[in-house]
A and B are shown apart, each in its own frame.
Chain A
Amino acid sequence: DTAVSQTPKYLVTQMGNDKSIKCEQNLGHDTMYWYKQDSKKFLKIMFSYNNKELIINETVPNRFSPKSPDKAHLNLHINSLELGDSAVYFCASSPPTGDWDHTEAFFGQGTRLTVV
């Protein structure tokens, strides 16, 4: 069973389109994240949700809108896609901050987004 799964794995689309990436975790974690990894492998946090509530929004353009229908799902919707949005997007989940024995995040396999 995949702990954190995201779909699709690859996404090629034209500039100006709107697309969504879905993420689901079956670990029972309260906290979920979206990260963006650029071509130099640099990982930057975009959003963090705890129990469906947004807790971190790292100056991401308004074109990016996360949605958490329940604590097992965190989807990422991107409007008006631009060339610079091309990257690999990773979803992750972790136990809440107070669980000191289990603080690590578990990552999905990534979605490679290419905007042409």
Chain B
Amino acid sequence: GDSVTQMEGPVTLSEEAFLTINCTYTATGYPSLFWYVQYPGEGLQLLLKATKADDKGSNKGFEATYRKETTSFHLEKGSVQVSDSAVYFCALRDDKIIFGKGTRLHILP
């Protein structure tokens, strides 16, 4: 069945560091891909999405490119802030929405 694998955390970085959170997927069809973010005590918010191969999703300085050849959708940000501390989920949608296990990100001032 479909699945999403993302790097385990926690990931701890200093402010202004470069961020990469790896995500790979397995799907029989051509899924849409997402990154969601969950701040402490809150629900999930869509951060960015890509619906077809080579699409790049971007939002709030975060980017991810849908790579069909490597079945990947890695999340990147050039300069992280303390306010980016949260749990990040990679997800795909085929007939249902499936999430990776989440990566907790800590940004130190």
Residues in A lying within 8 Å of B, measured CB to CB = 33, 35, 40-43, 45, 48, 56, 90, 92, 94, 97, 100-101, 103-110
CA distance A56 to B95 in the complex (A): 9
B73-103, CB under 8 A of A: which get 1 and which 0?
A: 0000000000000010100010111110110
A107-B32 contact given A45-B97, A94-B97, CB 8 Å threshold: no
B residues 42-89 near A (Cβ < 8 Å) are 42-46, 49, 51-52, 87, 89
Interface size on B, residues (CB 8 A): 23
Interface residues of B (CB under 8 A from A): 32, 34, 36, 38, 42-46, 49, 51-52, 87, 89, 93, 95-99, 101-102, 104
* A-B pairs with beta carbons under 8 Å apart, 21 shown: A33-B97, A41-B38, A41-B101, A41-B102, A42-B102, A43-B89, A45-B97, A45-B98, A92-B44, A94-B97, A97-B93, A100-B32, A100-B51, A100-B52, A104-B49, A104-B93, A106-B46, A107-B36, A107-B44, A107-B45, A110-B43
Residue of B nearest to A58 (CB): B96
Bound complex: CA A33 to CA B34 (Å): 17
Please state if A101 and B51 are interface contacts (CB–CB under 8 Å). yes
Q: Which of B38, B44, B49, B95 lies at the interface centre, i.e. has the most chain A CB atoms within 10 A of its CB?
A: B44
Contact pick for B32, options A35, A40, A41, A103, CB 8 Å = A103
- For B52, list chain A residues within 8 Å (CB): 100
Alpha-carbon distance A42/B49, docked complex (angstroms): 20
CB neighbours of A90 from chain B (8 A):
43-44
**Chain B residues near A97 (CB-CB < 8 A):** 93, 95
